[in-house]
Amino acid sequence: MIGVSTIIQNRDKEILLVQERKPAAYGKFNLPGGHLEAGEKITVGAIREAREEVNLEIELEYLIGLYHGNSGMNFVFFTTSFRNQAVAQKSEILDCSWFSVEALRALKDDHILNPHKFLMIMDDLVAGRRYPVEIIREIYNN
């Protein structure tokens, strides 16, 4: 299974986090994202998830990385820019908030969904790891 998430930053370089509504992760902070739908392109899924979770129309800027979890789940993370300024909480989440990287690092592990993965992604972001989105080549038989 593949999950897609976005790192949405405002002009102050704060990162948007959502608080999960799902019972298994209730109240935990996470990056906006979710699972790809059947047959959905990775890039399209990332854009859809941002719209569904925080009502933002985004453009993917860079691929931060591909991460494989011990659960067998694969995650794809992108940096983005966004067009509209108003973040609207959607029904899939409890709330959303902007955090500086320093404030993110200060969050307790039990407040973050999968803290090890989350901190690895933040480390990659701060280290400047960025790859062109076009590196993802999606092949579909039509």
Q: How many CA atoms lie within 13 A of 6 on its CB side?
A: 30
Say if strands 2-8 and 74-82 run parallel, antiparallel, or are unpaired. parallel
- The one-letter code for the residue type at 74 is N
Answering whether pTM is above 0.75, one says yes
Specify the pLDDT at position 86.
65
Specify the pLDDT at position 70.
75
CATH number for 2-132 (one of 3.30.565.10, 3.40.50.10860, 3.90.1300.10, 3.90.79.10): it is 3.90.79.10
The dihedral sign for the CA sequence 97, 101, 102, 107: positive
Specify the pLDDT at position 115.
92
Q: pLDDT in tens for each of the 142 residues of the chain?
A: 899 999 999 989 999 999 999 998 999 999 999 999 998 999 999 999 998 888 888 999 999 999 987 777 899 999 998 876 667 666 779 999 999 999 999 999 999 999 999 999 999 999 999 999 999 987 766 5
What DSSP element (H or E) covers 68?
strand 58-68
Domain ranges of the chain: 2-132
**Best CA proximity match to 54, nearest among 101, 88, 21, 28:** 88
